[in-house]
Amino acid sequence: MNGFVRFACHAAVAVWIALYLAWRSADVPLVEAAPPLRLLPAPVASPAPAPSAPRPMDVGGAEVARGEDLLAAGDGFPALSFSYQSFPSFRAYAASMESLGARFVVVSRRAIVAGVDLEGGDLGDARLEAGFSPRARDYSAEPALAGVTGTARARFGDDAEVMLLMPRRVDAGLFGGIARALDERGPGHTGYSEVRGRYERAPDGGVRLHVLGAQRLDGAEEAFELVFDLAALAGGPT
């Protein structure tokens, strides 16, 4: 299984493509290309035990507002490389994302043409309510979704991709919170090329993002920890 989600990362496999959502007059959602985001592979193994972590970061309205601006800008933010190998399988990880309000869809020629039912492996209605992040994650190379990707391409063409749409408020909180933390470290988010971390199960059964460090533009590595409670972000700013 693929073990890393990267909103632009260095190891080799598929691309976490950043997109902007729009609607055509025919009421079909559109997506527009933005800076690429990639997925990283990880070995198939038992889930790693979640280590102790600091208290989740408080993300308030100021961070969410800043995150909205960063999402709208489309570039200038460090690549985000987030592993999901702490989960026993891609399906477990995907279910945790869906529990936050994320949705898997099929995109063809920049249009969202179908929704994906991971449980049954079927394609369905593409209608979505507003409120998703303009940055989607491309999972077309995920082995666990090979059947779904094959069905999508047979129906919609070879350019069809299976992507994950995250709730906009989750990504806004993450981007704004990370930017605040990097500001506090000195150079701010523009001084870094990459931020790394992993998704983990929270003690209460929810999902958290555990940031473990970052790389500066000059290549220097910095180790530090941040934790985000994704369920809290999905519920709105604290």
Higher-confidence position of 168 and 29: 168
Question: How confident is the model at residue 135, as a pLDDT?
Answer: 83
Q: Summarize pLDDT for 128-140 with one digit per residue, the tens.
A: 776 899 888 888 9
β-pair partners for 116: 123
pLDDT value for 196: 95
pTM to 2 decimals? Answer: 0.74
> What mean pLDDT comes out for the span 105-117?
92
Across the range 102-113, mean pLDDT stands at 92
Which has the closest alpha carbon to 5: 216, 218, 185, 174? Answer: 174
| pLDDT digit string, tens, across residues 4-41 | 555 533 333 333 333 334 333 344 444 544 444 444 44
Determine the pLDDT at residue 40: 44
* pLDDT at position 214: 95
Please tell me the distance from the alpha carbon of residue 183 to that of residue 194, in angstroms, as a whole number. 14
DSSP-derived pairing of the beta strands 79-83 and 192-201: parallel
Name the band, by pLDDT with cuts 50, 70 and 90, for residue 180: very high
Q: Please report the pLDDT score of residue 235 as a whole number.
A: 84
